[in-house]
Chains A and B, each alone.
Chain A
Amino acid sequence: MVQDKETILPIQLSFMLYPTVMATGFLVLPAMGALYAPYDFWMSSILVIIPGVISIVLATSLHKRFPGMTIIESSQRIIGKWLGKLVGLLYFIYLLHLTGVISREYAEFVKSSFLFDTPLMFISCSLFFLAACAVRGGVSVLARSAVIFTTLFIMPFLFLLLLIPDLNWMYIFPMLSQGFVPVLKAEAVPQAWVSELFLMTYFLPFINDQNKAKRWLYMVLGLIVISMALVDLGVLFLLGPDTSNKLYPILVAFRYMSAGGFFENLEAMLLAMWVLGNFVKLGVYLYATVTSFSQCFGVSDYRSLAFPIAILASIFSLWDLPNTATLNILIKKVGVFEIPLFMIAIPLLLLLIAWLTGRKGTNQGGVNG
C-alpha cells in the first residue's frame, strides 16, 4: 500500500514515462535498427505500439486486480510470500543492474563526445547524486521535476526541422526490399526500450484517477511512437546507408544543422536534452530500484535508501563493462531479452497465475503493513 499520502497526477506520470523510454532511445535506437534494416528501420518504430500496449495493459490490469500495489507487493500475494519475495529480489537486482547500465550509457556519450577529460565516474555520479536527491525527496518531487525537465527535453526535437533542406527523401526507397524479416530484427531493441513503460507499476499506486491515467498512458505511448518515427526518418533521410555506421546518428544530425550560416554547432543543445532526459530516466529507475528493495525487505521508509542504492548502482555501471563495445553488445544481444523478461514475461506470468487462482488484492493493507 501507499506508505503516505503522496499522490501524483496522471499527466505527471506520462511526463515521467516519456523520457524513461526516449531519453536514451532517441540516441541509441536508430543505429541499432539500421544495422538490420538499413532503409526500413523506421518501420520498427511504428511496430513498438505492440509491446507498448502490452506493457500498459499488463501494468494496469495487475494494478486493477491488486489496487495500490506495485508488482513487488502483488507478486507476494500471487505466488506466496517467499516466492514473491524472491521475485522482488530478482527485480531489485535487475533494476539495479539496469540503472547502472543506463548511467553508463549516459556517461559514455558525455565523455566520448563532449567532456573528454572528465572522469567517467564523475559524470555518472553527479547525475546519480541529483537523481538520488529527487528520489529522496519523494515520488511527488520526482514527478514535478519530470514535468519541468521533460518539457525542456522535448523542445530541442523541434530543431530537427532545421535539417529539412539537407534531407534526401529518396532514402525511404527501396521499401521492404528484403521482406519483413529485417524489420522484425530491427524491432528487437526498440521493443525492449518501449517495454520499459511497465515501470509505471511503481507509480500507479500513487494515482487517484486510474481511468484518466490509462488515457494518459496511451497518449504517452502515441507520443513515443511519433517521436521515435520522426527521429528515425530524420536520421534516415540525412544519413541514408551511413546510419548504421554511426554510434549516435542523432548527434551527427545535430552537428549537421546549419541555419543562416551562424546558427551552427547545436550539439550542445543535444547534450542539454541528454542530461535532462537522463536525469528523469535515472530518477525513475532509481525510484523503482529503491521501491523494489524496500517493499521486498519490508523497509518502511524508502527515502533513506536512495543514496546507498545510488552508490550501489554506480558500481554496477562499471562492473563487467570494460568498454563501449561491450556496452553495445549488452544492449543489442542481452538487453533485448532481459528487459522484456522483466517488463513483460514475468508480469504476464504473474497475471496469468493470479487469474487462474482467482487471487485478488484486498484493501486490508499491504504485506509490509
Chain B
Amino acid sequence: MMSRCLIIASSLAFVMVMLTGCWDRVELNDLALVTALALDAGENNQIDTTVQFQLPRSQSGVGGTGGGGGGTNRETAVRHATGIDIADALAKLQRELPRKLFWGQCKIFIFSHEVAKQGIQESIDFLTRHPQPRERSYVFVSEGKAADTLELFPPLERTSAEALREISNMDLGFKLTLEQLSIKLINESRAFAIPYIHILPSSKSAEPRQTIAYISGSAIMKDDRMIGAMSEKIMRGMMWITDAVGEYTVTFGMKGSTEKFISLKPVRARIKLVPSIRGDKWIMTVKAHVEGDMVQNETAYNPTEPSILSEMDKAFEEAVRRRIELCLHQAQHKFNADIFDFADAYHRKYPRLWEREKKNWDQRFPQVEVKTDITAHITRLGLIQAPGGMRKEEVIE
C-alpha cells in the first residue's frame, strides 16, 4: 500500500516537472512576434535585414491621443541589422532586441529590387532550412527599399504585413508562397514571376506613412535573378495563361471601340496548355474556356439579343486573346523568360526529348509558336436587361 502511494506520488511529481515544457519553455512576454522580414542590399555585398514586429497591445497606445504621435495607431516597430548573410544579420539584430525573435507568425518576406537582382537562392536556402519560417508565407519583391514597406501604418489592418497578406489572400491578384517559390527555383522553365509591391501614396488627409504596400505587376526572375519588371496590365495575361485569374474584372470594348466598354466580373477560366512538336517547330496551344458575368455595359447594345450577345462573346474572346498575346510577346521577346511554365508542359508530354533539349530552352522558348484557342461566354447579365438608364429608342437591338 505504502509503496503504491509512493509510486503514484513520484510519478505525479515527474509529470509536473514534465508539464512545464522543460528546456523549451517560452513565455509570450519573452518573444518578439515577427510579422515580416525585409531584405535589402547592404554595402560590400552584405545583406541588410529588417524585421517588423508587433508591439504588445498594452504598449501600442490608442491612436496617440493628445497630439504627439498624431493620428497613426502604431502597433508595429522595426529593427534592422546588416550581416554577411541573413543568419548573421539576424544574429546581430537579436543583440539589439530585448525579446527573442519568433518567426511562427511571420507570413511576409520581402526582397528589395536590388537583392532580387543579385540573386535570391542563398536567402531561400535560409528561409527553407530554418525550422521556424513558414512555407506558406508570401514572398514579394519591392520596388524601392524593402525596409520602407515595413514602416507603414495601415489605416485598416494592424500591421502593414497583415495588409499585404490580406490583399494576397483575396484572390484578386498574383501571389506566391515560399514553398511555391522554392519549387519554381528548381523547375524546368528556369524562370518565374514574383509579385511586385509598391507603396501606395497616402491619401490627402492621412499622415505620410499611414498607407500600405500593394501588389502591382511582377518581378520577372530568371534562374534566381530578377531581370525586369512587368506591369500589372501585362501581368494579367500571365494570370490568364497560368489559370490564376481569380476574381478580377475584365473590361473591353465592342468591335474595337475605345470609348464604350463592357465589364465582366467575376470571370472564370479553365485553361489547358497543350504542347506539340512538328518537326523542328515547337507549338504551344493555350486552350481557354472563359466565362464572365456582366456588371457594366456602357454601349448601347442590348445584350439580351442573342446575335448581339454572341458578338459580345466574340469581343470578350478577343480581349482575352489580346491580353494573353501581349504578355506572351513580352515574355518571349523582351525577357526571354518562360514564366508560364511551358517547359513543364513539354517535360510532362515529351519527357525523353525534353531531357535532351532542355539545355537549349533559352534559344527555343522565344521561337515557340503559341496558338490560342479561346471560347468565351458571357453567362449572366446582372439585374437589368437593356442598357440601364437608356431610352428604348436609343438601344441598338
Q: A residues near B, CB below 8 A?
A: 112-119, 122, 126, 170, 173-174, 177-178, 238-242, 245, 252, 255-256, 258, 261, 264-265
- For residue A172, which residue of chain B has the nearest CB? B348
Number of residue pairs A-B, CB distance < 8 angstroms: 57
How far, in angstroms, from A119 to B186 measured CA to CA in the complex? 35
Residues of chain B within 8 A of A265, CB atoms compared: 104, 134
Given contacts A115-B22, A119-B23, A173-B348, contact A239 B179 (CB under 8 A): yes
Residues of chain B within 8 A of A115, CB atoms compared: 22-24
* 11 sampled A-B residue pairs with Cβ under 8 A: A115-B22, A117-B24, A118-B22, A170-B344, A170-B348, A177-B351, A240-B187, A252-B179, A255-B136, A256-B136, A256-B179
- For residue B22, which residue of chain A has the nearest CB? A118
Cross-chain contact A177 with B352 (CB below 8 angstroms): yes
Known: A177-B351, A239-B179, A242-B179. 4 other contacts (CB 8 A): A112-B131, A115-B22, A126-B18, A173-B348
Residues of chain B within 8 A of A264, CB atoms compared: 136
Cross-chain contact A174 with B351 (CB below 8 angstroms): yes
What's the nearest-Cβ distance from chain A to residue B37, in Å?
17
How far, in angstroms, from A236 to B351 measured CA to CA in the complex? 18
How far, in angstroms, from A146 to B177 measured CA to CA in the complex? 39
Which residues of B from 370 to 389 have beta carbons under 8 Å from A?
none
Cross-chain contact B179 with A117 (CB below 8 angstroms): no
Residues of chain A within 8 A of B24, CB atoms compared: 114-118
Complex partner residue of A241 from B136, B186, B349, B355, CB under 8 angstroms: B186
Cross-chain contact B135 with A256 (CB below 8 angstroms): yes
Residues of chain A within 8 A of B355, CB atoms compared: 177
Given contacts A112-B131, A122-B22, contact A261 B169 (CB under 8 A): yes
How far, in angstroms, from A122 to B131 measured CA to CA in the complex? 20
B225 in contact (CB, < 8 A) = no
Residues of chain B within 8 A of A173, CB atoms compared: 348-349
How far, in angstroms, from A261 to B135 measured CA to CA in the complex? 15
B1 in contact (CB, < 8 A) = no
Residues of chain B within 8 A of A117, CB atoms compared: 23-24
How far, in angstroms, from A258 to B348 measured CA to CA in the complex? 29
Residues of chain B within 8 A of A112, CB atoms compared: 131
How far, in angstroms, from A112 to B169 measured CA to CA in the complex? 30
How far, in angstroms, from A122 to B14 measured CA to CA in the complex? 13
What's the nearest-Cβ distance from chain A to residue B127, in Å?
12
Contact with A along B159-185 (1 / 0, CB 8 A): 000000000010000000101001100
- For residue A264, which residue of chain B has the nearest CB? B136
How far, in angstroms, from A264 to B135 measured CA to CA in the complex? 12
How far, in angstroms, from A170 to B347 measured CA to CA in the complex? 11
What's the nearest-Cβ distance from chain A to residue B76, in Å?
20
How far, in angstroms, from A118 to B20 measured CA to CA in the complex? 12
How far, in angstroms, from A241 to B179 measured CA to CA in the complex? 11
How far, in angstroms, from A126 to B19 measured CA to CA in the complex? 13
Complex partner residue of A258 from B136, B186, B351, CB under 8 angstroms: B136
How far, in angstroms, from A251 to B193 measured CA to CA in the complex? 26
What's the nearest-Cβ distance from chain A to residue B334, in Å?
27
How far, in angstroms, from A242 to B124 measured CA to CA in the complex? 13
How far, in angstroms, from A256 to B131 measured CA to CA in the complex? 13
How far, in angstroms, from A279 to B135 measured CA to CA in the complex? 29
Residues of chain A within 8 A of B348, CB atoms compared: 170, 173-174
How far, in angstroms, from A173 to B22 measured CA to CA in the complex? 47
How far, in angstroms, from A118 to B182 measured CA to CA in the complex? 30
Most buried by A among B18, B23, B352, B355: B23
What's the nearest-Cβ distance from chain B to residue A228, in Å?
22
What's the nearest-Cβ distance from chain B to residue A315, in Å?
22
Residues of chain A within 8 A of B352, CB atoms compared: 177
How far, in angstroms, from A200 to B213 measured CA to CA in the complex? 60
Contact with A along B19-30 (1 / 0, CB 8 A): 000111000000
What's the nearest-Cβ distance from chain B to residue A247, in Å?
9
- For residue A242, which residue of chain B has the nearest CB? B183
Residues of chain B within 8 A of A177, CB atoms compared: 351-352, 355
Most buried by A among B131, B347, B349: B131
Closest 5 CB pairs of A and B: A177-B351, A174-B351, A173-B348, A117-B23, A118-B23
Residues of chain B within 8 A of A126, CB atoms compared: 18
What's the nearest-Cβ distance from chain A to residue B336, in Å?
22
- For residue A110, which residue of chain B has the nearest CB? B24
How far, in angstroms, from A258 to B107 measured CA to CA in the complex? 12
Most buried by B among A115, A174, A258: A174
Complex partner residue of A113 from B131, B136, B179, B182, CB under 8 angstroms: B131
- For residue A246, which residue of chain B has the nearest CB? B128
Complex partner residue of B182 from A116, A170, A174, A242, CB under 8 angstroms: A242
